[in-house]
Chains A and B, each alone.
Chain A
């Protein structure tokens, strides 16, 4: 598999969760987010898996690995937010750490895209 094809796979894996996260963020900011929302449930699962890197499906493990040295991401904090998202109404204080996570995912996608353009 070429570098382009490989990084397109990695990019796709991250993209799905980045989409989910941004949708949930918009709902949280607008006060329309509900624990039953499917995107919110998927995000909660990802956040919880960040604190237990050897858990979750393949995509979650990959994301967890990519973020493990990111100083802007605190897996324990995000895992707690994941639990809250699953169960209840959440405070707006969760938005800032989720924004940081969204920025980190954005950076990883940019890296994958840059490597795809590198050809070789």
Chain B
């Protein structure tokens, strides 16, 4: 235990000083959380109640939690602070600008470009990691909007965010009901036991991560518009596999729903937000991509991601985002980041060969815009 206290103190001393103000909140979070861990560890050695033989199971569990918490702080937060650079200011200013444009109801997360695994967010630390070079390009920055939705689902006691969380609860209740009905049907019909196992596995994914990912996709669609759909199409084309894949017994753990199901929800969201024309264009490109992969939906896919559930999610999220008083993107929405990210995709398709040059100049302009008022 004393060794762990030593390690915690070392980690606190490793928090770099003199970081720019964009990182002050993360620095504060690190210090506070590490302080809490050290308080807990000290309590485990000095509180007479924790030395009582009957309390040893609680003591051991608390000790393990302290270690896990310290591991997370070290590998995620301290690493982010250690590698924070002045160039990271741009991404933080960009996210701050997005926050203002979309009337995001919370403080923005701290952004650092050290992700080894695409965009990702640690909601409890309010920390977003993005790939190293992402700040130099535009086409995948729409994913920032997706990531911004993750912390919303973990906020407690904030009435502004309740509509979004209530929509989430409605969806997981409906999905649970759907899967339970399917399980009952299997039971009555005496189908192969494997199908019941699939259904149980899918419910677990829906509960633990898929619903969250659909919500974040749709939050991005409703607050940014078509650029998010284009970005998802591009990501699926460049990094995706079979867009209709659903987990079966032998497949590895997955974090996201099938790309095709995500695209169906995204396109439905675009329709609901008034981007019918753009939805049609993107749908046509998506159909080309699917045809090129040679993949097709099978019965499992349709059962795992029924269309009526996808449509219901799109409707519920729209209500949640609207009632959270975030700005819903519409064809006439303005704002420098909104205009730039949607414009980038228009430019990309209009003149692909000249896009790289256009992008370079536009990123520079965006940097200047974001620096204003910083």
Contacts and interface: CB of A to CB of B under 8 A. Distances in A.
Interface string B206-229: 011100110010000000000000
Contacts of A54: 173, 176
A87 B358 CA distance: 68
Interface in A1-15: 1-6, 8-13, 15
Contacts of A120: 117, 252-253
B45 interface: no
A113 B176 CA distance: 26
Contacts, number: 104
Contact of A30 (B52, B150, B169): B52
Interface residues of A, number: 39
A109 B117 contact: no
A9 B55 contact: no
A6 B255 contact: yes
Given A1-B120, A2-B117, A18 B61 contact: yes
A120 B118 CA distance: 11
Given A1-B213, A109-B68, A22 B121 contact: no
B54 interface: yes
B85 interface: no
Contact of A58 (B122, B150, B169, B255): B169
Nearest to A106: B61
Interface of B, helix, strand, loop or mixed by DSSP: helix
Interface in B89-141: 115, 117-124, 129
A102 B253 CA distance: 26
Best-surrounded residue of B54, B58, B69, B150 (most CB of chain A within 10 A): B58
Interface in B41-57: 49-50, 52, 54-55, 57
A113 B49 CA distance: 28
Contact of B62 (A5, A22, A61, A115): A22
A99 interface: yes
Given A3-B255, A10-B208, A30 B65 contact: no
Nearest to A102: B61
B76 interface: yes
Contact of B58 (A9, A22, A110): A22
Interface of A: 1-6, 8-13, 15, 18-19, 22, 25-26, 29-30, 53-54, 57-58, 61-62, 65, 99, 102-103, 106, 109-110, 113, 115-116, 118-120
